[in-house]
Amino acid sequence: MNDPNGLVYKNGTYHLFYQAGEWPRRWDHATSTDLINWTEHGTKIPAVEPGDTAGISPFSGGAVIDENDTAGFGEDALVAMYTGHHYGDGFDAAGIEDQRVAYSTDNGETVHKYEENPVLPSDVGDWRDPRPLWYESDGNWRMVITRVSPAENRPAGVEIWESSNLKDWEYLSTYESGGEPWETPNLEQLPVEGTDESAWVVSMSAMDPRRVEHHIGCFDGTEFTAEKAIRADHGFDFYAPQYWANTPENRGLYIAWMNNWNYAMETPDNGWQGEMTVPRTISLVDGDDGPEVRQHPASELTEIRQEQLAELSDKQITPSNADQVCSQEASASGPLSGTDVDGRTLEIVATIDPQDADEVGLRVREGDEQASIITYDAANEELRFDRTNAGEFFDEGEYGVADAPLKPLCDGTIELRVFVDRSSVEIFANEGRKTMTNLVFPDWESTGVSLFADGGTATLEHLIAYDLSTES
């Protein structure tokens, strides 16, 4: 699997369509009432196999609930927009891409392709990932699509279109990328906490290098104007995010594909290839330089906590011998010694005061020769994640160490909320100011957790750890 598609909420159910299969790709469907437990419903938008004409693979797109039946498919119909990628006998990255509609009147149980597709024909490629949204100010629809490469009379960037019925669309403007290839766009209006204002956010995936950006600014119904841009996640494995449409209270709820196209097809075979991040929320808070982004795991994730493994306060973290890194000996006398903090599926929330330590951090999925290492470099105010000795596949090459600038909180501490899973580590730092998402492929036996400090002594002000699995 790869990109999340057609994310929409209806009558207590979260719908998640997604890109499935190696090639040609299709839309599969899953639903959940709690964002934790998901029920698979199989393929809903299949590919058209090549015959006398090129086949068509349904690439990424978004969905809405058409409450007022503007499209004529039925009241409260689930209407999806997707890209039709035309291909021959094999994958053709340069194939023509047009925009299409599918709909469901039974909550996604059956999905029908609109018989008059494409609603936006095309004779060029690199034009994809439509995401419609209801624009309340005008009482009609808008849609964002990325033009990855410039075309005749159209620059590259996020295009904005308008429609009254989700079928007939009029081009309005392009938020230009300056030549950088973008894809999988979102356009969301979010309140700015602590004010009576709101701001618009364009979130998209930049293809070189692979990353996601949030561009914050103004949207007047025709044009988007950015005031600032920030990186959404500083790990290697966070891409193609999409927001759920129609959520109560405009939660800013979204999810991303946890992988990277630069190596996605070569990752180890664990019985799957591709997975989603945990659902997270994005919010805006008032800052000195305009709205600032905060990201948090969806509140529902507290429900997957099983046994509380430990809770510690006011513990010293003393320097450790460098030769003990990635060994079980490293934790023999540390603050977690004698606790039950160990496992493959964990949530760890820790507040650490670096004090006079140069570096302080946390090792997870630790074994005799392995560890996934989260380090805070106090001198350089930098958060790092090192997976060069985290198991197979990753090494000291280009994708071994991820980093992010991170200033301490006003009291000098750093706060980490870490989700450890069988093949991933997701970090939310300093109350959601920075996030970092990375795959790891450790040995099954690598389950240890330890704290460390180098160059001085740090204080563990508080730590609480939970097991997230009922399995042994």
| Bond prior to 354 in cis (omega within 30° of 0) | no
Joined tokens for residue 313 = 């306060």
Residue 124 and residue 25: Cα distance in Å, rounded? 20
Q: Say whether 208 is catalytic.
A: no
The one catalytic residue in 3, 233, 353, 377 is 3
C-alpha atoms less than 13 angstroms from C-alpha of 7 in its C-beta half-sphere: 22
Residue 68 and residue 419: Cα distance in Å, rounded? 41
Joined tokens for residue 403 = 């980093």
Residue where the block lists tokens 């997976």: 387
Do strands 414-421 and 290-297 pair parallel, antiparallel, or not at all (unpaired)? unpaired
Task: Confirm if 392 and 441 have CB atoms less than 8 A apart.
Answer: yes
Per the DSSP assignment, residues forming a β-bridge with 127 are 147
468, amino acid identity: L
Do strands 182-193 and 280-287 pair parallel, antiparallel, or not at all (unpaired)? parallel
Residues known to be catalytic = 3
